[in-house]
Structures are given as C-alpha cells and as structure tokens.
Amino acid sequence: MMTQPQHRILVTGGAGYIGAILVPELLRHGHAVTVLDNFSFGPSLLDCVHNERLTIVRGDVRDERLVKELVGQADAVIPLACLVGAPLCAQRPVEAQTINYDAVKMIIDLTSKDQKLLFPTTNSGYGVGEKDRFCTEESPLRPISLYGRLKADIENVLLDSGRAITFRLATAFGISPRMRLDLLVNDFTYRAVVDRFIVLFEAHFKRNYIHVRDIAKAFVHGLNHFDSMKNEAYNVGLSDANLSKRELCEEIKKQVPEFHIVESEIGQDPDKRDYIVSNEKIEATGYKPEVSLQKGIAELIRGYQIVRRNQYTNT
C-alpha cells in the first residue's frame, strides 16, 4: 500500500539535464511527481518509471488546457522546461520567448497563493561583473544574452507573486542520465579526455560552478524550508569554485596530465560572461553543496569512457 506523498509536485521539463537528477531525488524523499515534457532530446527517466508515485505526461508546456489541469493537481510547481543557454536561444528566439517566459508566466497566473513555485534562474544574469567584486543577490542584473534577459525578466514576475523561490544557478556540471556536453566543465573535461588539447579564447573570464546533484539538493532544501525562504532569490554555486577558464583547465589537467592547454591571442569567445559570485545567502539557510569541482571532474572522466559526442548537447 502506497503511503501518502509529502507533496504533489509538477515538474515541467522534468526529463532534461537537471530534471533527470531532480525527479528521482524528489521521489526518494517521498513526493508524488508529475513530469510534463515533450522528450525532444530523447528518452529519459526510464530508471524511475517503476515508481508508482511518478506520472509522465508527454506534452507541450505551452498547452494552456493541459497545464491548467496539471497545475490544479499540484501543491508545488518546478518549471524546468526551457531552451537553455545563450546559443540555443539565439538560434530559436521565438521559442525562447514562448517557453522561457510566456509559459512560466502562464504557470504563475494559474497557481494560487497556497501553491509553491521553485524556479531555476541563472547567475548568467550578472553578465559582466566588476573585477574582484562578488556578485550577490543585491547586485544589478546585466544580462548580455536573450537567455539571460528572459530568465531575469521572469524572475521578477515570480518574486512579485509572493509564492516563489528562485535559484540563480552557477554553471552546472556533472553526469546526468540526460547528458549535456555543451556546459563548460563538461565540455572542457571531454576535450581533455578525448581530444587531449584545448584552445582557449579570453581565458581570464571567470564563472562560478555547481554540480547537477547539488542543484537537485537546492530544490529539495527549498521545499523543506519554503516559508522561511520564499520571495527571495538565491545564488547557488560552489564558493571555492569562482574560476577563470584557464584555472578550470588547470584543475582538469591535475587529473588528465596529458591535457594540453593553448591560449589564443586572436579571436574572441562569443560568451562574454565574466563574474565571481557569493553564495553566502543560501549557505546561511543551512544549504551546503556536497560535490566539489574536483570530484565532479573525476566523475566526468569516468563517464567519458562511456559517452561520446553525438546527441548530448543543446545546440
């Protein structure tokens, strides 16, 4: 006999890179989870379908009739459905607008004050930070891409709703059942393992990083502490991993000594993000990430004995 679930949670885009880690974690904590996804990146969550508390709905997050029905059955909604990353949004701007903003706005409008919203924004909204100054949740958002702008715009609407927590995620890394190779740590580690070399453009640009399992942990933490955390944005990253691209490559090289790193004097990186981030606010609530950058790199190295570059990107 199935025990009563703690929460009924709707996760849109739950078959994606984060969702494929988050959904089984939510199930493990005793929640009932409904996933709405179009599975555009192929099969996912097959390791969870034995769980009777999981419901899979194949559909489009922009389908108002369907979304209204599913939202009405949920205690909490985690809108993960998104065109993720600046390159993909630049290629498909209309879809980016309708999925990353309009569909989330629809969910906000369909929820009541008693429902919980937990949403991943991105610390890419900080754009280009000030040298040696940490970006906090009070820092101005200066997104330099359509992706960053849409995330920043919908975050404002969510926080104004009075029933949301938003997580400004650092650049994610790590192995997921729905793998992505286009994320920076994942990409650089793949190049180290497979190609043995990399050419860096603007190698001094800095970013913060967070393992995908620690992203899932942040959502669970937010659910468990919702009343004390709601109506706020939180940076989510590794406080000891504000690294430049060159520094990241040097960390990888410690585990792949054959990795050859070249800095190019000519050419530019199309991604101009350059900032360091403080994660003190969420840490003060009791959240602590568990997977270090070094452990994540080791995990990726093992994973890349299996994975080869084919469909595992968002572009």
Average pLDDT over residues 142-169: 94
pLDDT score of 1: 37
Output helix, strand, coil percentages for the chain, rounded to the nearest 5: 35, 20, 45
Q: Given a cut of 70, is residue 130 above it in pLDDT?
A: yes
Q: What sign has the CA pseudo-torsion 173, 307, 26, 10? A: positive
Name the pTM for this structure.
0.94
Q: What is the dihedral of CA 227, 288, 216, 246, to 10 degrees?
A: 130
CA–CA distance, 102 with 95 (Å, rounded to integer): 10
pLDDT given for residue 127 in this prediction = 76
Q: What would the mean pLDDT of 276-283 be, rounded to a whole number?
A: 96
Percent of the chain with pLDDT over 90: 83
Confidence at 96, pLDDT banded by 50, 70, 90: very high
Domains of the chain: 8-173+209-239+277-289 (3.40.50.720)
